[in-house]
Structure 1
Amino acid sequence: MKRIALWLLLLALLAAAAAYWLLSGRARDVTLVSARIGEAVELVYATGFVEAEHPVSVAARMTAPVRQVLAGEGDRIITGQPLILLDDEEQRHALQQARAQRRVAGQDERRILALYTRGWVTRAARDAAVAQADSARAAEASAAARLDQMVVRSGMNGIVLRRDVEPGDLAVPSRTLMTLGDPARIRITATVDERDVPRIHPGQPALMSSDAWPGRVLHGHVREVTPGGDPEQRAFRARIVTEDGSVLPLGLTLEVNIVTRRAIRALLVPTTAVESGHVWTVRDGRAHQHPVRTGTAGSRDIQILSGLSRDERVVKAPEGKLTEGMRVRVLR
């Protein structure tokens, strides 16, 4: 038993020595980069889409079946142009009846007025005839107005963005039949994660791109951030307008980067070089840890505010594998 225990102890010592040689005695390969001066930009990423500045929802004032649709998606329209015709048979009959009643009341009014001038009827009879004629004329005007409401008209100049109605559908005042907009007056609505909202303010620059135009960057700025968010998506909406007034297709999706911070002459190192508030340098073949204070962070570079000087070389990607004093080999 003592001999077996001695052999086990010897094997454990050999294993420990081998592990020490592998971890401490063997140099780890690293790549060094120099800290440089450049522009540090901090961005908030979002996705957005192009929409009309003031989209207009079209709905009927009356409940009635749709008889005819006069405009389709993409059609240009002007103010007052008929868009949808509703079934107006009942209203036309009502107008005819109101006109007939107005004619009768008008005849009675003229007859009573003629008799009143001769003193054959009382003032009360004259006043009643005049009031009845006025009421009949008002009823005719009201019936004509209801008939006109059976034609749904455009309230703006622009185009039909969306059509949600077909002949035979039942139009009700609460249902949107069409959506109109002016393509010359657009905005980009970007969905921003609620964690990033405190960093976004009106006036901040925005860089936008689309797969529709590879390599093209659109410039704009944040005009406003909606005060209410979407609790289900946990996001808010930022309204962005383009700087050059570019005319973009309505509904186009965009990749949006909002510039929240910018430093013009900043000391930069790759973001991969910073670990838990420190960087690694190499001296005499050994790794040494240096605490640093960081500032603006981008997708590739991060600003160093203190703890490092220009042109000082740091390990590009320590990846959590270095320890103080570890032997390293610098790759060329």
Structure 2
Amino acid sequence: MAAALVLLAGCGRHAPEADAATPVIALPVQAAAAVTAGRFPGEAHARYEMPLSFRVGGQLSARYVNPGDRVKQGQALAQLDPTDASNQLAAAKAALEAAQHRLLFATQQRDRDEAQSKQNLISQLQLEQTEDNYASALAARDQAQQQFQLAQNQSRYTTLVADHDGAITSRQADVGQVLAAGQEVFGFAWSGEREVYLDVPESRIDGVVTGQPATISLPALPGQVLSGHVREIAPAADPQSRTYLVKLTIDQPSSRLQLGMTADAVLQGTQPSKAAVSIPATALFHQGEHPAVWVVRPADSTLELRNVTVARYGERDVLVTDGLKPGERVLMQGVHTVSAGEKVAPIAPPHAEDAPQ
């Protein structure tokens, strides 16, 4: 009976099974494709556009230019009623002359009292009073000079002058209107550099980068293609249209290009570095403060958590420029359910649309 029990016990033992591999969705990563933003309509603008206004308030008495006029630097554009400014200038000039006369008298009195003080003909107190009168007269003269210069500036500011060559784009004030200081009178566009403004939808703004080259064609100039590049991208979308303003600088503006012309801009693709790869956003993990991904080791099919450098975040994917190589197998989903060193069995996504594009 003992022998039979030993035989039965031996039959109940089995060899230990190898550790079972965990099935995970892991696929080889592909090299990133070129970033292409596509084609967008636009409008021609000047590199510098700004409102022109008077630095002082007053009644507009004359307007010398109209929208569409080209002006030169230093050219007078409009005039305020100069009566008040002229009166202030005359009053400041009279005050300065009076202060200069008082200073001359105080200087002569000081010189006389200093000479008499040396001969002990006057007291020290009288000399000190004379010197105090001289110091007060000198300060009053300096103050009057500053007021006179200010009045001169105020008088000069009644004439609106172009500070650069350019064109008048709009008119915001009429003759007889009382204007406040800084109130817009004209819209003004500088001559020289030209740009094209684009409204890029938020779904396509990821494909636009500063410095990206572009080709620009205009229906008004058939057969002429201009080259440019992205100079500026708005940091926030327009609250109403939900589009981003992108400004293209034209490298060699055409003399035939007029402000406000409609344009058709094609943003050329920018090719990432050879080491850049694109992975789904669901594959991104974080090790502390650093982005990381789970990489399947080809030797033993175990997981390794590796730090990566992310160059750009998209809606569904991220661009990795360091830490991964094309062809390496990366965990695409379930990054929070695995651990380092875990043995896995890579499988494809159950739905084809879930595979990275």
Q: TM (normalized to structure 2)?
A: 0.56
Alignment of 1:261-276 (within 5 A): none
Matched with 1:111 is 105
Instruction: Name the stretch that deviates more: 126-135 or 206-215.
Output: 206-215
How far off is 1:184 after superposition?
A: 2.3
The Cα shift of 1:174 comes to 4.1
RMSD: 2.5
Q: CA deviation at 1:49?
A: 0.7
Q: CA shift at 1:210, angstroms?
A: 2.9
Q: Residue in 2 aligned with 1:97?
A: 91
Structure 2 residue matching 1:101: 3-state secondary structure = helix
Residue 105 of structure 1: CA displacement? 2.0
Residue 101 to residue 186, structure 1, CA distance change in 2 (3 Å): same
Q: Give the alignment partner of residue 62 of structure 2, picking from 42, 61, 68.
A: 68
- 2:181 match: 173
User: Is the Cα–Cα contact under 8 Å of residues 218 and 242 in structure 1 kept in the other structure?
Assistant: yes
Counterpart code for 1:172: A
d(CA) in 1 for partners of 2:226, 2:141: 66
Letter aligned with residue 95 of structure 2: Q
SS of 2:249 mapped into structure 1: strand
Letter in 2 for 1:69: R
Q: How does 1:211-230 map to 2 (within 5 A)?
A: 211-230=219-238
Shift >4 Å, 4+ stretches: 40-43
Alignment match, 2:315: none
Q: Residue type matched to 1:64 in 2?
A: G
Match of 2:80 in 1: 86
- The letter of the residue matching 1:250 is L
| Secondary structure, counterpart of 1:61 in structure 2 | coil
Q: 1:41 to 1:195 in 2, by over 3 A?
A: closer
From the superposition, tell whether residues 217 and 126 of structure 1 become closer, same or farther in structure 2 (CA, over 3 Å).
closer
> Which among 42, 47, 56 is matched to residue 41 of structure 2?
47
Q: Deviations over 1:66-110 (max 9, x none)?
A: 111122223333333322211221121111112112222222221
| Shift in Å, 1:195 | 1.0
Give the Cα separation in 2 of the matches to 1:47 and 1:77. Answer: 30
Unaligned runs of at least 5 residues, structure 2: 1-33, 117-125, 272-357
Compare 184-193 and 159-168 and name the one that shifted more: 159-168
Deviation for aligned residue 1:131: 2.1
| Residue of structure 2 aligned with 1:208, choices 202, 216, 219 | 216
Q: Which runs of 5+ in 1 are unaligned?
A: 1-39, 263-332
Distance change in 2, residues 1:134/1:214 (3 Å): closer
One-letter identity of the residue aligned with 2:84 = E
Aligned to 1:137: 145
User: Structure 1 residues 137, 195: CA separation in 2 closer, same or farther (over 3 Å shift)?
Assistant: same
Q: What is the CA–CA distance in structure 2 between the aligned matches of 1:233 and 1:67, rounded to whole Å?
A: 40
Pairing 1:253–2:247 present: no
In 1: Cα distance, 2:36 partner to 2:108 partner: 88
**Alpha-carbon displacement from aligned partner over 1:48-68 (angstroms, at most 9, x marks no partner):** 111111113211111211111
Do the aligned residues in 1 keep the contact of 2:53 with 2:183 (CA within 8 Å)?
Answer: yes
How far apart, in 2, do the equivalents of 1:142 and 1:243 lie? 43
Decide whether the 8 Å contact of 2:165 with 2:191 is kept in 1. no
Deviation at 1:179, TM superposition (A): 2.3
| SS of the residue 2:216 aligns to | strand
